[in-house]
Amino acid sequence: MTLRRYLVLGAILLATMAAIVGSTGAISSAIVGSMGATSSATAGPMGQGYWTVARDGGVFAFGGAAFHGSTGSMRLNQPMVGMAATPSGSGYWLVAADGGIFNGGDAGFYGSTGAIHLNRPIVGMASTPTGHGYWLVASDGGIFSGGDARFYGSTGSLHLNQPVIGMTPTSDGGGYWLVASDGGIFAFGDAVFRGSMGGHPLNSPVVGIAADRATGGYWLVASDGGVFAFGAPFYGSTGNLRLNRPVVGISATGDGGGYWFVASDGGIFSGGDAGFYGSTGAIHLNQPVVGMAGTDGGLPPAPVNGGTPPTPPTTIPPPPPGTHKVLVIPEENATRAGVAAGMPYLTSLGNQFGQATNYFAVIHPSLGDYLAMFAGQTHSQCPVGPLCNPPPPSVFGQTVAAHKPAKVYAEDMPANCGPMQVGLYVPWHAPWPYFLDPTEQAACQQLDVPSGTTTGGALLSDIQSGNLPVTGEFAPNLDHDAHNAVAGGALPSADAFLQSWLPIIMVGPDYTRGDLTIIITFDEDDGTTGNNVTFVAIDPRLSHKVVTLASTHYSLARWLEDNAKVAHVNNAVTASNLKKAFGL
């Protein structure tokens, strides 16, 4: 227990607040809050301050936050539900439940959904780092983007346990998190999942989320002021205090050193380096406050040693010949229509980056298809077991022979180059161990490794160090590749698995410098569509690319061979050039 200062109506009261438990255990910190009159406020240094917005669009400015207009005296079609500040701190947007946008200061208008029929009401918005665009989010997790805000996915087609109540973007604008009222987190683009309260009992529902742009983590706040920190420092909460009105939103300082949250009467609570500049806690409001924004809440952290942050290139140059990397993630037993219905995250990536719509598996059952992907052959007489011995080479062996790195990461494989099924690991989904040629086996024993998890292991280490191979496979286990009938459904389980890994891969140095293509496909369909399966290519050089070229798993083998600059073998010799069709 620690003593926290708590201002009410200008008088200082001492209150004892218990630490709140976030993802890393019990943590506590001093917090300064106010539900008092604005006379107890301080001036905001160098423009630092915040705004609050009421349900009728009335705006209240504090500290160095300038007033840029409101809709307090206007008749609105729908009530206001939130606001966002421009990164400069010189303007803001207000958003209504129908997606109507009202802008002031240097906040430009980039479109709205005010005249569109929505399945669910808008509940929040967020600005891009440039201030030249914004996202709107509906209670079903549907995303609407305007200006330079890119669409990275949504939960609009998913059944949610609880409604989405807000969103926050990553510091580079390359992704965003959505949060539901049960604290469930949905991460898209380069937003990394750090944890959630989904499935945990809460004293009060979650009402807001803010990103820590210094760490890539985030904070959730509940209506009782309880704060949950995931990958971000904890700066205190009001979870053990009795509040006059419930908390309705949260905003973070730009350096990640603190946060404010606001109650429906406009009472402000600040922790860390978030200064207190006043509130409407003692003022009679026509309508309750529904949100807030800090003047520096949208800014990324300043450079560590000063200077100007680097401007990312507008186009990513191709890597030097023979050094590009490809990571294939195979999934199991689904039609394209089934994936579209059951894997919205993967589907959104295919829509955003690239997909092949006329792509086919070559055989039933699975093993022949994996051999087709990674060796250009089916060798269909192979039994499923350690006696399979297809003729070399595999694409992994070809790559190693060309003195370039190849590697297989197999989830739950007990030891390198495992030839037998153990638990949820099966070798026929990562078939390098079946190549008994001595040269292939020697490489397999060294380079076919257990993947580890999103918190540690070979794959995470190679992602973070920029050491992914030129030719790579990441083989999920039977519960994560849509093979097994698991609670919640096989395809949603596979989609969630991809959603846990892909944002990590896509913020790694290989991907961010344009050196990596991620390919996700399915070994075979369910026997109903002639083996037409999903094929998604994720690459920063791709945007909304749809390839209709007739292609198969042999085309994937050719792609891997072309990428590694090795000879075509077996059926890859005559396979269609899918890589060229994607323009890669």
Task: Using alpha carbons, select from 172, 191, 133, 147 the residue that is nearest to residue 299.
Answer: 172
What number is the average pLDDT over the span 359-370? Answer: 89
Asked if 282 and 363 sit in the same domain, the reply is no
Average pLDDT, the chain: 83
- Asked, for residue 406, whether it belongs to a domain, the answer is yes
Mean pLDDT within 239-247: 85
Q: Is the pLDDT of residue 322 over 90?
A: no
Report d(CA 34, CA 310) in Å as an integer. 38
Partners of 222 in the beta sheet?
206
Q: What are the tens digits of pLDDT across the range 377-394?
A: 987 656 555 567 888 999
Percent of the chain with pLDDT over 90: 53
For residues 346 and 253, membership in a common domain is answered with: no
Residue 307 domain flag: no
**Range of weakest confidence among 235-244, 426-435, 453-462:** 235-244
- Give all strands (DSSP E) within 148-243, no chain letters: 164-169, 175-180, 185-189, 206-212, 217-222, 227-230
Residue 277 lies inside a defined structural domain of this protein: yes
pLDDT above 50 (res 354): yes
The predicted structure's pLDDT at residue 326: 97
Higher-confidence residue of 296 and 176: namely 176
Predicted confidence band at 281 (pLDDT cuts at 50, 70, 90)? confident
Predicted confidence (pLDDT) at residue 299 exceeds the cutoff of 50: no
Give me the pLDDT at residue 23, please.
27
- Reference 41, options 60, 14, 26, 17; nearest CA is 60
Residue 313 in domain: no
Q: How far apart are CA 529 and CA 179, in angstroms?
A: 37
Contact 564, 405 (CB under 8 A): no
Question: Does residue 277 share a domain with residue 143?
Answer: yes
Kindly tell me if the per-residue pLDDT of 124 is higher than 60: yes
Given this model, what pLDDT does residue 394 score? 95
So what's the pLDDT on residue 313?
A: 36
Which range in 7-16, 270-279, 569-578 is most confidently predicted, on average pLDDT?
Answer: 569-578
| pLDDT reading at 479 higher than 70 | yes
The pLDDT value recorded for residue 15 is 25
Q: What is the mean pLDDT of residues 187-204?
A: 89
Clarify whether residues 290 and 334 are in a common domain: no
| The predicted structure's pLDDT at residue 179 | 96
Q: Among 41-45, 356-360, 416-420, whose mean pLDDT is lowest?
A: 41-45
State the pLDDT confidence band at 33, using cuts at 50, 70 and 90: very low
Mean pLDDT of 187-213: 90
Q: What is the pLDDT of residue 282?
A: 80
Q: What pLDDT digit, counting tens, does each position of 4-27 carry?
A: 222 222 222 222 222 222 222 222
Q: Is residue 211 included in any domain, yes or no? A: yes
Instruction: Identify the pLDDT of residue 198.
Output: 84
d(CA 253, CA 298): 8
For residue 318, name the pLDDT band (cuts at 50, 70, 90): low
Helix (H) or strand (E) holding 38: none
Together in a domain, 334 and 249? no
Q: Which two tokens stand for residue 234?
A: 């904890």
Asked if residue 32 belongs to a domain, the reply is no
Residues 21, 10: contact at Cβ < 8 Å?
Answer: no
Phi first, then psi: what are they for 581, rounded to 5°? -60, -30
Output the six-digit token pair for 469: 């191979």
Token reading at 356? 């092949």
The per-residue pLDDT for 134 is: 93
Query: Do 371 and 269 share a domain, yes or no?
Result: no
Residue 4 lies in a domain: no
Domain identity same for 353 and 498: yes
How many structural domains comprise the chain? 2
Q: Which of 31, 10, 42 is nearest to 241 (CA)?
A: 31
Q: Round to the nearest angstrom and report the end-to-end CA distance of the chain.
A: 58
Q: What's the CATH number where 572 sits?
A: 3.40.720.10
**Shared-domain flag, residues 271 and 338:** no
The pLDDT of residue 443 is above 90: yes
Over residues 209-227, the mean pLDDT reads 91
Say how many CA atoms lie within 13 Å of 158 toward its Cβ: 29
Mutual angle of helices 553-564 and 366-375, in 10-degree steps: 30
Domain with residue 239: its CATH number is: 2.130.10.10
Last residue of a domain, one of 294, 319, 347: 294
Greatest mean pLDDT among 229-233, 294-298, 566-570 lies in 566-570
| Cβ neighbours of residue 554 closer than 8 Å, sequence gap 6 or more | 362, 372, 376, 570, 571, 572, 574, 575
Q: Same structural domain for residues 63 and 176?
A: yes
pLDDT at residue 256, rounded to an integer? 80
Whether residue 158 is predicted with pLDDT greater than 90 in this model: the reply is no
Domain span at residue 487 reads: 329-581
What integer is the mean pLDDT of 209-221? 91
Residues ≥6 apart with Cβ < 8 Å to 120: 138, 139, 140, 142, 163
Q: How far apart, in whole angstroms, are the C-alpha atoms of residue 45 and residue 253?
A: 13
Q: What is the mean pLDDT of residues 148-173?
A: 89
pLDDT of 581 strictly over 90: yes
- β-bridge mates for residue 557, sequence order: none
Local structure of residue 425 (DSSP, 8 states)? B
pLDDT at residue 283, rounded to an integer: 85
- The pLDDT of residue 381 is 54
SS3 letters across 283-306: CCCCCCEEEEEECCCCCCCCCCCC
Report if residue 11 sits inside a domain. no
Q: Who's near 265: CB < 8 A, 6+ residues apart?
A: 35, 244, 245, 280, 281, 285, 288, 289
What is the pLDDT at residue 463?
A: 92
Q: Nearest-5° angle of CA 582, CA 530, CA 569?
A: 50
Are 507 and 575 in the same domain? Answer: yes
The answer on 177 and 127 residing in a single domain is yes
Among left, alpha and beta (phi > 0; psi -120 to 50; other), residue 63 is: left
**289 and 343 both lie in a single domain:** no
